Chains A and B, each alone.
Chain A
Amino acid sequence: MGLRRTPVERVRLGLLVLFVAVFPFFASPYWLDLANQAAIATVGAIGLNILVGYTGQISLGQGAFMAVGAYAAGLFTLNLGLPWGVGIALACTVSALVGIVIGLPSLRLKGLYLAIATLAAQEIVEWAMTHWTALTGGTDALVLTAPTLFGIRLNTGFNFYWFGAILAGATALFAANLFRSRVGRAFVAVRDQDVAASVIGVDVFRTKLLAFATSSFIAGLAGAMIAYYRTIVTWERFTVETSIAYLAMIIVGGLGSIRGAFFGAVLITLLPALVSNAGMAIQDSAPGVTRMLPYLQQAIFGVVIVLFLIFEPKGLSKLWRNAKDYFDVWPFAYRKG
């Protein structure tokens, strides 16, 4: 099936591609860095959405999966001297394997029990990152050499932008096509009605494990991207707060929507920057606001989650569809018939 069906959709895709292609030539390094973070977050959020939004398995372990990817990428590159391309492939594979192991409790557990089990996995991986010194170097950061492609350094803001945009686009394309395939449909069937799914011949447990593997494969990719972008791997980037931020992205963006994962990733990445810019703007009239900024960022992050859950549980992707429907028949209020 084609990626876009109608002329309007083709125009919209064209405009998006044009914007993505032009943006870095006008953006300041600050905005480039944010865009790169958003690209990485998009990859991670799509990965998590496959598991949570499409398969219905709540996971608080996204940070752990990404950590495995980042550390695997870092260690393979550092210790074995492998090129970064191989590093990424291995990072994804290792992550997928760890995802299967963490997914094993889903054999017996559902819903909140599974959420708590993945929380435990997150804590255990966090402990391993900081205390398994022989493997991870403990709380010391892994420092990588800059990845290069044909002699061009990849980890500058401008250069990584292209790399990040391509990987994010490829991940979105992969996920969109996944849900047109038998495997992807099986994920959705397990989410909607696991008993019915097993009646029509979906092996529920195998499907869940596959969802864990696919999701953590992509999470591993996001982790490896962080490793090569920052060229520093530290545990602080992969705590339970990371897991929560990614869950927030897919909730705010819209569960079970690839567009939603993108919207959510962008919003949650930009939110702290927006709050601190707003804070800077009013610091003359409200002295002391700069001191509070980190905590205000945290509070507003929470407020955004709560407001979306109460007022638009289907997230930004639903708002987007509402807006589209509205303009479809503009200037009329609704379509006749």
Chain B
Amino acid sequence: MDVFLQLTLSGLSTGMIYALAAAGFVVIYKASDVINFAQGDFLLLGTYLLFFSVVQLGLPTSLGVLLTVLGAVAAALLIERLVLRPLIGEPVISTIMVTIGLSSVLRGLVHAVWGVSPRSIDSVLPTGTTAIGPVTLSTARLLIVPIALAVLAALWLFFRHTRDGLAMRAIADDRQAALSLGINIPGVFGLAWGLAAAAAAIGGIMLGSIVGVTPNVATIGLRVFPVVILGGLDSIRGAVVGGATIGLLEAYAGGYLGRGLNLVLPYAVLVLVLMLRPYGIFGRVEIERV
């Protein structure tokens, strides 16, 4: 029972970080049809920016978190303006490849500046454990779940109840109609990248406080694909459900099955979903068939 609860918590907390990365991915895809392979590198950037501001600049944690999120958003806005905007309307392979290139640039630069050896950081979240009845659980992981859910809920509310959110949904529905109604499409694309980077940076901060500041943080970039395909490429709710499912699956597979199955099962799920229900659990049923 002990092990089961710990695995569940570990899976849920990792899953919520996946959900944050995936939600950013979904926001960008919804708005601009771009598949962002660099999503994991925004987590990496978030982790290292926090290390930079808290350890190297010696700022207090709250200020450091703020600076990290702002830094990631600034980077995303710059990238959207300089790299993605010239490619609006280009074929899928161009947008896929350009984000792959960006991922390489971001990762290379982060490592060129901060190196690859693991760094330590006074965790933003409290270290140590909390005893709930007979079970001891990691406090940081316990806190991650509600924090991530709060951020995701905020993102969801933003989509539902603000003008900009409405504009984004309008663009996702019909770009030309949105344009003819006077919606500033490039502005909305920028907003989407900013939001995605903010969500990823928050995910990176939390990931950094449970696994440390290491290059491994970026591996989440590819792990996002099973999550978004399972949940549906254009659904934030889907990102949450998909993130939790994939996180739990990984944790249980790692804990009970071993043999590295936690690495491969998410992709097996991905293939299954693509075969049976390519639009995922909550995605819009509008996939192109051959």
A: residues with CB less than 8 A from B are 52, 58, 105-113, 115-117, 119-121, 123-124, 127, 130-131, 194, 204-205, 208, 240, 244, 247-248, 251, 255, 291-292, 294-306, 309-310, 313
* Known pairs A305-B100, A309-B98; A119 contacts B225 (CB<8 A): yes
* Known pairs A117-B274, A119-B225; A109 contacts B290 (CB<8 A): yes
Residue from B92, B109, B110, B260 within 8 A of A111 (CB atoms): B92
* Known pairs A106-B290, A240-B222, A299-B104; A116 contacts B270 (CB<8 A): yes
User: Can you offer 21 A-B residue contacts whose CB atoms are under 8 A?
Assistant: A58-B93, A105-B271, A109-B290, A116-B35, A120-B225, A121-B271, A123-B263, A131-B259, A131-B260, A248-B101, A251-B97, A255-B93, A298-B108, A299-B112, A300-B108, A302-B100, A302-B108, A304-B101, A305-B100, A306-B101, A306-B105
Interface of B is mostly: helix
Residue from A52, A204, A301, A310 within 8 A of B104 (CB atoms): A301
Q: How far is the CA of A297 from the CA of B107 in the complex (A)?
A: 11
Q: How far is the CA of A299 from the CA of B101 in the complex (A)?
A: 8
Q: How far is the CA of A248 from the CA of B271 in the complex (A)?
A: 25
Interface residue? B209 (CB, 8 A): no
Find out whether the CB atom of B93 lies under 8 angstroms from the CB atom of A113: no
Find out whether the CB atom of A305 lies under 8 angstroms from the CB atom of B104: yes
Write the chain B residue with the least CB distance to A292. B112
* Known pairs A115-B35, A298-B108, A302-B105; A58 contacts B96 (CB<8 A): yes
Q: In the complex, what's the smallest C-beta–C-beta distance from B220 to chain A, in angstroms?
A: 14
B contact residues, total (Cβ < 8 Å): 45
* Known pairs A109-B290, A113-B278, A240-B222; A120 contacts B271 (CB<8 A): yes
Residue from B92, B101, B267 within 8 A of A123 (CB atoms): B267
Q: How far is the CA of A309 from the CA of B90 in the complex (A)?
A: 10
Find out whether the CB atom of B96 lies under 8 angstroms from the CB atom of A115: yes
Find out whether the CB atom of B105 lies under 8 angstroms from the CB atom of A299: yes
Interface residue? B1 (CB, 8 A): no
* Known pairs A108-B290, A120-B270, A298-B111; A303 contacts B105 (CB<8 A): yes
Q: How far is the CA of A315 from the CA of B58 in the complex (A)?
A: 46
Q: Which residues does chain A contribute within 8 Å of B278, judged by CB atoms?
A: 108-109, 113
Find out whether the CB atom of B87 lies under 8 angstroms from the CB atom of A310: yes
Q: In the complex, what's the smallest C-beta–C-beta distance from B79 to chain A, in angstroms?
A: 9
* Known pairs A108-B275, A113-B274; A58 contacts B92 (CB<8 A): yes
Find out whether the CB atom of B225 lies under 8 angstroms from the CB atom of A116: yes
* Known pairs A58-B92, A110-B290, A194-B290; A124 contacts B97 (CB<8 A): no
Q: Which residues does chain B contribute within 8 Å of A305, judged by CB atoms?
A: 97-98, 100-101, 104
Q: Which residues does chain A contribute within 8 Å of B111, judged by CB atoms?
A: 292, 294-295, 298
- Having A124-B268, A306-B98, A309-B98, one finds 14 other A-B pairs with CB under 8 Å, namely A106-B290, A108-B274, A113-B287, A116-B35, A116-B270, A119-B225, A120-B267, A124-B264, A127-B263, A295-B108, A295-B111, A302-B103, A302-B106, A303-B105
Write the chain B residue with the least CB distance to A244. B100
Q: How far is the CA of A247 from the CA of B92 in the complex (A)?
A: 13
Interface residue? B86 (CB, 8 A): yes
Q: Which residues does chain A contribute within 8 Å of B274, judged by CB atoms?
A: 105, 108-109, 113, 116-117, 120
Interface residue? B288 (CB, 8 A): yes
